[in-house]
Structure 1
Amino acid sequence: MKVLLLALVLGLVYGELPELTPEQVDGDWRTLYTGADNVEKTSEGGPLRAYYRHMECTPSCENVTLSFYIKFGENCTLITIVGQRTPEGSYSIYAEETGLSTFQVLPLTEKLMSVYNVNVDPEEKTTHMITLIGKDTTVTEEQLQEFYQLAEKHGIAKENIQDAVPTDTCEP
């Protein structure tokens, strides 16, 4: 039931999603900015603060594999997950610790993407989050402003967005 609800919400938010291609997705990525409507989830040390490292998809992008670090104190734990495409074009995963996540990968440029995620944790609290990832750590002011607008479109206030680059001390 949760998957259907999340799919409906994401379908209403985005309408029809663009088809992803391996050329857009495959490669090494870094978390640049992240934010949520529940800031404690994406603050440093929060359970949804992910430091992206690599992403790839199957030839038809039916599955997207994400590798990222989660930090607990100074310890970085590498996690690899596989999201399966839903009929609406988003991706869905379940992790016992964090619950059900339905996410969308939105290519912005060749070197920048946004990942919008709706997470329902084991206590059934819903968190909407957005992350800007890049092939390097360079973002123009114009690109950052566009990301803020995209975040606000999804109910995430600009003041809830944090620069993740200074806190990413995990291995490259």
Structure 2
Amino acid sequence: MWGPSFSLRDRDRMLEGEWHTIRLASSKKEKVEEEGSMRVFMEHMKALEDKSIGFKFHTIANEECVDHYVVADETETGEYSVEYDGHNKFTLFDADPGAYAIFDLTNFKDGKSFNLVALYAREPDVSQEIKNKFEELREKHGIPKENMVDLTQAVGLIPERVLVPTLQIPVATLEKEETPDPPVLSGDFSPGLQHHPFLSTHHPATSSHI
């Protein structure tokens, strides 16, 4: 386990792999509310050869998923710096790379700044003991408890309000159409999202690198 002075310089590879967003808290509440730019659903972290770290995540905007991939560069002070909705500097406050990671971030944009505390985990949820570590940093920054969101129960990848209308096919339309004879198929045609045009989704991607 690593403490507040931990730097990702030599051990960032231990953070590689899949992650889930557990909790977020911001001194600017709207940033972590629904469709806020910092309401980030973390997916993957990747250590890069130049001591940078790649983050793959998605947000929800206009009821649609938006994929993001950003690269954070380590600075001379040991902090990491990345461009996303402004300029961001962050450190790793505490972590057990096999279980959780708590990030301490400051955003700078248009002459203003705000703090963000983020708790990510390898599993969809964590113990109360780990959540208490998150609370420690939130309180240190003076972020009100009402500015905290718990995303353990959130629908992240495809919101139901987006998916359900896509699957609604009018019954009357189907009744009027003639049913053609099924084609003769061979091979493995197991059902899956990739084989169904109505379930196929395309999300715009963004990337950032300093």
Measured against the shorter chain, the TM-score band is: 0.7 to 0.9
**3-state SS of paired residue (1:167):** coil
Alpha-carbon shift at residue 84 of structure 1 (Å) = 0.4
1:145 to 132, 144, 147: 132
Greater per-residue strand proportion: 1
Match of 1:83 among 44, 63, 72: 72
Query: CA RMSD of the aligned region, Å?
Result: 1.8
Task: Within 5 Å, give how 1:58-77 maps onto structure 2.
Answer: 58=48, 62-77=51-66
Q: Is the 8 A contact 2:105 2:115 kept in 1?
A: yes
- Alignment pair present for 1:167 and 2:157: no
Q: CA deviation at 1:85?
A: 0.2
The secondary structure found in structure 2 opposite 1:115 is strand
**1:22 Cα deviation (Å)?**
3.4
Structure 2 residue matching 1:88: 3-state secondary structure: coil
Identity %: 24
Equivalent residue number for residue 90 of structure 2 = 103
Residue in structure 2 matched with residue 156 of structure 1 by the alignment? 143
Q: Which of structures 1 and 2 has the bigger CA Rg? A: 2
Q: Deviations over 1:46-101 (max 9, x none)?
A: 11111100002135x72011011011132111100000001111111124xx1101
* TM-score normalised by structure 1 residue count: 0.80
**Structure 2, gaps ≥5 residues long:** 159-210
Shift of 1:107: 4.2
Query: Partners of 1:24 and 1:74 in 2: how far apart?
Result: 34
TM-score between both structures, scaled by the size of structure 2? 0.67
Normalized per residue, the structure richer in helix is 1
Query: Greater shift after overlay, 73-82 or 17-26?
Result: 17-26
Q: Which runs of 5 or more residues in structure 1 are unaligned?
A: 1-15
Superposed displacement of residue 108, structure 1: 2.1
